[in-house]
Chains A and B, each alone.
Chain A
Amino acid sequence: EVHLVESGGNLVKPGGSLRLSCAASGFTFSDYNMNWVRQVPGRGLEWVASISGSSSHIYYADSVKGRFTISRDNAKNSLYLQMNSLRVEDTALYYCARPDCSGDDCLLLLYWGQGTVVTVSS
């Protein structure tokens, strides 16, 4: 069974940094591209970043480009999101998500974790 567990969310001041982690199990982690999606409380969903299985291809939403860095450690079955220069508008529930199939062309998000909360406030 696919299992995704996010951690690392916390309260941080504007301009601060935070590193989120996603522990994956139940599948061959290195075969799948992985993704971060966030949800502002009471609002909609926003795709944040994606990384291919080999880390050779990385994509970011314009809203986080230059401030966030997605990475992965296939030996540890873990996905990360380094968040720098945090803004109040980055406050959200951050989900780790896996597509329905293996390979870099698989874009449909099927499996989601339960999320970790990031609050940016002074």
Chain B
Amino acid sequence: DIQMTQSPSTLSASVGDRVTITCRASQSFSTWLAWYQQSPGKAPKLLIHLTSTLASGVPSRFSGSGSGTEFTLTISSLQPDDFATYYCQQYNSYYRTFGQGTKVEL
């Protein structure tokens, strides 16, 4: 299975900050990389798929990039609703794996 490692585990930031989260894969795969946002008590919400494609309704301050084994999620200007936990996930096959999560806190 492909292992996904996110960094940092926790990120302290303020409203308006530019935030970057990194996800590294144990082996290279194509662009089948997604990012999810999860707020407390809620199910994960898809933000980005195919490494850099925004899901429907997701604000343009979110962006994704990367290839091979290194991928990033960037929030250009952090908003109050963005304080949440973010997960990367590879969906290269049915044996999908998630990163351990990055909590973005104030």
Which of A's residues lie within 8 Å of B, judged by CB?
43-47, 50, 57, 59, 61-62, 95, 100, 107-110, 112-115
Q: Show 19 A/B contacts (Cβ-Cβ < 8 Å), sorted by A.
A: A44-B99, A45-B87, A46-B98, A47-B95, A47-B97, A50-B94, A59-B95, A61-B95, A62-B1, A107-B91, A107-B92, A107-B93, A107-B96, A108-B34, A108-B46, A109-B44, A109-B46, A110-B46, A114-B43
Shortest C-beta distance, A20 to chain B (Å), equals: 15
List the B residue with the shortest CB-CB distance to A110: B46
From known contacts A44-B100, A44-B101, infer whether A107 and B43 are also in contact, taking CB-CB under 8 Å: no
List the B side residues contacting A95 at CB < 8 Å. 43-44
Which of B's residues lie within 8 Å of A, judged by CB?
1, 32, 34, 36, 43-44, 46, 49, 55, 87, 89, 91-101
Q: Which 10 A-B pairs have the closest CB atoms?
A: A112-B43, A107-B91, A59-B94, A45-B98, A47-B96, A44-B100, A44-B101, A50-B94, A108-B49, A110-B46
* Interface SS of chain A: loop
List the B side residues contacting A109 at CB < 8 Å. 34, 44, 46, 89, 91, 96
Shortest C-beta distance, B68 to chain A (Å), equals: 19
List the A side residues contacting B99 at CB < 8 Å. 44
List the B side residues contacting A44 at CB < 8 Å. 87, 98-101
Known: A45-B101, A59-B95, A108-B34. 5 other contacts (CB 8 A): A43-B101, A100-B46, A109-B89, A109-B91, A112-B43
